Amino acid sequence: MENNTTNYNQNPIEISQSISVYLTKVYNWMAVALLVTGLVAYFTAGSEIMIQTIVGNRILFFGLIIGEIFLVGYISKRIHKISSYNATLLFLLYAVLNGLTFAVIFLVYTSESISSTFLITAGTFGAMSAYGYFTKQDLTKIGNLAFMALIGIIIASIVNFFMQSAMMHWIITYLGVAIFVALTAYDTQKLKAIAQQGFSNEENMEKSAILGALTLYLDFINLFLFLLRIFGSRK
């Protein structure tokens, strides 16, 4: 996220307003992306042709997942070199691709449990984001530990794909919830710190807001998926 030198002439009120404007952009774009993902997933799950095309074709399904990973990496690495308009389009494209693959959960879990888990996720995310914003404690160490633990559960998930251990599945699940709860608070605090430093121009703020929205979107989505393992009712 590109942010330049702090404007030390700003008074506390101006800094507070700058933070409010920036974080409003971040949360608005995150909400738009979640809405896009949810709508695409819902309508895809309701189309037999789409389901057969995506779920029935493993090459296409995993191709979509690889495409999502590529997009996240591209946006993160190239955010300084692309325009805010292109960054926004790529972010929304990622939300659409995520919605196509997320259609699977509507086939596995009941709509009621998906809705209730979404509300639980929203409440948990909101509480931890608020904590990250208001706490005076530096969450850097917690964030770093959570990131290292995330790498660990990714490796464990790959191993368990072959082992199919129920115990490891639930260990990974509960660790995943804890990790993304921590990352939500940490990432919110980090975004607030970025806003406090200020931006050289509106374009840089817009691009930083898109990248910030992508970060929180990923926290929310992953927290939702792990909670769905716990609270979701299978059909």
CA distances from 36 to 3, 203, 233 (A): 28, 24, 24
Residue 77 lies in a domain: yes
pLDDT at 39: 95
Determine, yes or no, domain membership for 179.
yes
* Amino acid in the structure at residue 142: I
The Cα 98–Cα 166 span in angstroms is: 26
Is 156 within a domain? yes
Q: Name the packing angle between helices 202-231 and 111-134 (round to 10°).
A: 130
68 assigned to some structural domain: yes
Q: Is 53 within 8 Å of 60 (Cβ atoms)?
A: yes
123 is in which domain, residue-wise?
12-231
In a domain, 7, yes or no: no
Q: How many domains are contained in the chain?
A: 1
Exposure on the CB side of residue 115, measured as CA atoms within 13 A = 4
Low-confidence ranges of the chain (pLDDT < 50): 1-2, 4-8
pLDDT digits (tens, 9 = 90+) for 169-217: 999 999 999 999 999 999 999 999 998 887 778 899 999 999 999 999 9
Q: Indicate whether 187 belongs to any domain.
A: yes
Q: Which residue has the tokens 């509106």?
A: 202
Q: How many helices (H) and strands (E) does the chain have?
A: 8, 0
Residue 4 lies in a domain: no
Cα–Cα distance for residue pair 218/223, rounded to 1 Å: 8
Tell me the pTM.
Answer: 0.90
2, part of any domain: no
